[in-house]
Every structure is written in structure tokens, then in C-alpha cells.
Amino acid sequence: MSMLIRLAARSAWNRRFTLGLILLAIALSTTLLLGIERIRHDVRESFSQSVSGTDLVVGARTSSVQLMLYAIFHIGGATNNIGWDSAQKLAHNPAVAWTIPLSLGDSHRGFPVLATNGDYFTHFHYGDKQPLRFTAGQPFHNVFQTVLGADVAHQLHYKIGDKITLSHGSGDAHLTEHADKPFVISGILANTGTPVDRTVHIGLDAMEAIHLDWEGGAPIKGLMIPSEMVKKFDLTPKTVTAVLVGLKNRASVFALQRDIADDKDDPQMAVLPGVALDELWQVVGIGEKVLLAVSGMVVVVGLAGLVSSILASLGERRRELAILRSVGAHPIDIFFLLALEGFVVMLVGVLLGIVLLNVVILLLGPFLTSEFGITLHPALPTKEELLLLLWTVIGGLMASLLPGLRAYRLSLSDGLTPKV
């Protein structure tokens, strides 16, 4: 047996160039498979970690998915708001520890503007109950100050003290600017991998202030209230889009949810973020399945390459196998030689793929993070990934039995003089 292994090794070394190419092909397939798998995992992770520590999301009655989309992901718009008094009532509910009122609608160069208050920076958590951190500056204290998410600052090259103007509405097309009331950047948040990174934060009072001289979505003709004057007005909002609620005791979550749904004065609803996120993932998760299918096909293609090149080399090796037969090798030995080679090439290819992936992540990681917001870390394969790789290797083993089987048959039918 050990003699056969030595023979296989020397035979493989003799064909190292061809085998090297196969090895590379398998390594690349593995890298791709693992890379896609990791991105898939990270996307799901960052999705489910976009909000944490929030017990309820409260908004006007709509679908829970819709509410999550605009309250957490700042996508789309709310059809209805809830009254400020409802938000206040919620804040004073004895079961409630904290609330974060949110108001959406404006944008800055494609990034959504979120109006909130200082509580946002203390109570909003993401990921594994991580709080927001500032890389520079501090929360807004004056009306016309703003705090930018990491991506906004990075992509638009903003720094503390820069002035920006907001647009009314969202999107890119011909929005009316709140050009008369520029905002000064007071703080920039650290990267979170969540929608926060792509958000421009202002105060609720600022949201009121920029819309003082507006009516029905357009500036009122002839009325111009300069920035210095807005403090003379009552800047308490009349409505908010949604409220994030943290409870003193999580056990009261269902009772409060029911109370909110039963409110006769203001039709509203409360959803549990975890449940709603799962629902939302069902919708966007199709992409995940497509990715998995793609990576599966990548592996199949890699294996097909392995089998076809070993099969192709069989023609050249028939003479070699006949010589081995003449000196006493059993057909099963021949089979073993080929199967062993296929298996080892597969195994080494997969290991090489793991190394390659980590090298790629190390080299391209910063680029991926800054350009696509995908954060990948070099790491050993997780248990799931190992399982996936195990199946790949098993697949490779099966695939390498094919050429082995053909060699077995040939060595039986060729006799000692291959007909080639």
C-alpha cells in the first residue's frame, strides 16, 4: 500500500504541470464557493443585525414588512404618520424604558434623512447590542446641525464643519432643495454595516424648521423664514413616522403591542423587529438561494474539470498502467492509484482554496468594505462551511472514482499491450 502511495506521488510529480492547473481550478472554485458563502452569510448577518435591543417598532397601520422597510432600512415612504401626542403617550408609558421618534421624508444626494432626537445616539443599538460610536464630532445640539453615517461621509468626502443642504423628498430626480437652510456637520458615526451608515441624521426640530415656510410639499410663495428666525417658532413636530421602543421588561412586549393596536384615537401598530425582519428576509432571501445555487454550480464545474483532465491523461498513461500490470499490479491497485490521485488533488485544491480566499480577503477586504459595504474578515471556515467543503471533497472523491473505474476496465481489456 505504501509502495502504491509512493508510486502515485511520483507519478503525480511527473505530471505536476497539468495537475497544478487542475489544482488551481479546484482552488479557485473553492475560493469562489467559500467567498459567495461568506458574503451570503454576512449579508444575512448584517441584515438581521440592523437593529438590536429595540423591543417594538411603532408606526401608522400598514404591513409589518412595510413598517420595517422605512423605519429601519429607510427605504420607501410612510403612507401615514402617527401623531406626536401618541409618541409622547408611548414615551410616558410606565412599561417603556426609552423611545426614539423617527421622521423620514427628505434626502441628501440620494441618502435618506432621518429626523430624530438625541436619544437615538444613546439608545439605538445594532448587531450584538452595540451602541453607535462617533469617529469624529458629537451629536447635534443646534437646530441646523447634522450627524452623518459612515458611508455618507466617506462617499461624499465630508468632514466635520462642512455645510450641506437637504432635498425635499427622496430619490435623485429634480428635488427641491432646502437651499436657504444649510446644515453644519457636527458628527460622523463609525461604520456599523447597517442602514445607519447611509443615513443623514438631523433633529426633529430641524425637520420642522426646514418645512416652516412650506406647504403641501412646496415652498410657500413669498414666504421666506431665514435660519436665524426659526427659533421664534414652535418647532415641536406634529407627527412622526415611527417610534422605536425599548421596554423595561421584555415580558410586557405583547401586552403593550396589544394596547397600541387597540388605541382608538390614533390608528397605529407595533411590530417585533425580529419577527418582522424574518418576514422581510423571506422576501429578499431569494437572492440568497440564487447565490447558493451559483456556488454549487461553480463546484460542479470544478469537479467536471478534474474528471475530464484525469480521463484525458488516461490515454497517455495506458502504457504505464500496462507496465504496472506486467509487474504484478492488480486492477484494483490501478484503480486505487487513480482514485487516490483524484482525491488528494481535490483535498489539496480545497485547502489551497481556503488559503486563497483569506489572502483575497486580506488584500481586497478594505476595497470591498468601502465600495460595496461588504465587510469580510479572514477566518478559518465555520462549521457550516467545513460541512460544505466536506461535501465538495466527497463529491471530488466520487468524481475521481470515475477515471479510476475506466482505468480498471482498460487494464482488464488491454491485457499487456494497450491498443493505442
Partner 1 sequence: MSEAVINVENVSFSWPGQSAPTLQMDAFKVERQDQVFIAGPSGSGKSTLLALIGGIVVPQRGTIAILGTELHSISASARDQFRVDHIGFIFQQFNLIPYLSILDNVLLPCQFSRYRRQRALAQGTTLRSAAESLLRSLDLAPALWSRPVTQLSIGQQQRVAAARALIGQPEIIVADEPTSALDADRQQRFLDLMQRECEQACSTLLFVSHDQRLASRFSHRLALNELNHAAHLEDQV
Q: CB neighbours (10 Å) of residue 176?
A: 12
Part in contact with partner 1 (CB under 8 A); list of ranges 173-181, 184-192, 319-327, 358-366: 319-327
Near partner 1 by CB under 8 A: residue from 10, 129, 174, 264: 10
Taking the least distance from each CB to partner 1, the nearer of 92 and 419 is: 419
Q: Give whole-number Cα distances, 299 to 28, 311, 340, 395, 401, in Å.
A: 9, 18, 20, 9, 17
Task: Look up residue 48 and give its three cell numbers.
Answer: 438581521
Please, what is the minimum distance in Å from the beta carbon of residue 321 to partner 1? 10
- What would the x/- binding string for partner 1 be over residues 25 to 54, using CB under 8 A? ------------------------------
Please, what is the minimum distance in Å from the beta carbon of residue 286 to partner 1? 51
Please, what is the minimum distance in Å from the beta carbon of residue 28 to partner 1? 27
User: Closest Cα partner for 57 from 77, 87, 89?
Assistant: 87
Taking the least distance from each CB to partner 1, the nearer of 80 and 417 is: 417
Q: What's at 294, amino acid-wise?
A: V
| CA–CA gap between residue 53 and residue 51 (Å, rounded) | 7
Taking the least distance from each CB to partner 1, the nearer of 9 and 390 is: 9
Q: Which residues are paired to 137 by β-bridges?
A: 187
Taking the least distance from each CB to partner 1, the nearer of 188 and 324 is: 324
Taking the least distance from each CB to partner 1, the nearer of 11 and 48 is: 11
Q: 3-state SS of 319-343?
A: HHHHHHHHCCCCHHHHHHHHHHHHH
Q: Is 289 in the site for partner 1 (CB under 8 A)?
A: no
Taking the least distance from each CB to partner 1, the nearer of 332 and 390 is: 332
Q: Is 326 in the site for partner 1 (CB under 8 A)?
A: yes
| CA–CA gap between residue 100 and residue 274 (Å, rounded) | 18
Q: What's at 130, amino acid-wise?
A: Q
Near partner 1 by CB under 8 A: residue from 173, 218, 327, 380: 327
Taking the least distance from each CB to partner 1, the nearer of 25 and 329 is: 329
Near partner 1 by CB under 8 A: residue from 5, 14, 254, 315: 14
Count how many Cα atoms sit within 13 Å of the Cα of residue 290 in the half-sphere of its side chain. 4
- Long-range (24+ apart) CB contacts under 8 A made by 121-125 are 121/147, 122/98, 123/53, 123/98, 123/244, 123/246, 124/51, 124/54, 124/100, 124/196, 124/244, 125/51, 125/52, 125/53, 125/54
| CA–CA gap between residue 144 and residue 137 (Å, rounded) | 15
Q: Is 20 in the site for partner 1 (CB under 8 A)?
A: no
Near partner 1 by CB under 8 A: residue from 42, 119, 162, 320: 320
Q: Is 417 in the site for partner 1 (CB under 8 A)?
A: yes
Near partner 1 by CB under 8 A: residue from 238, 248, 289, 330: 330
Residue 60: exposure state from Cβ atoms within 10 A (0-12, 13-18, ≥19): buried
- Helix, strand, coil: what percent of the chain each, to 5? 55, 15, 30
Q: Is 1 in the site for partner 1 (CB under 8 A)?
A: no
Taking the least distance from each CB to partner 1, the nearer of 305 and 331 is: 331
Q: Is 176 in the site for partner 1 (CB under 8 A)?
A: no
Near partner 1 by CB under 8 A: residue from 231, 238, 248, 319: 319
Q: Is 323 in the site for partner 1 (CB under 8 A)?
A: yes
Near partner 1 by CB under 8 A: residue from 53, 182, 331, 365: 331
Q: Is 413 in the site for partner 1 (CB under 8 A)?
A: yes
Residue 391 DSSP label: H
Residues that bind partner 1 (CB under 8 A): 3, 10-11, 13-14, 319-320, 322-332, 412-413, 415-417, 419
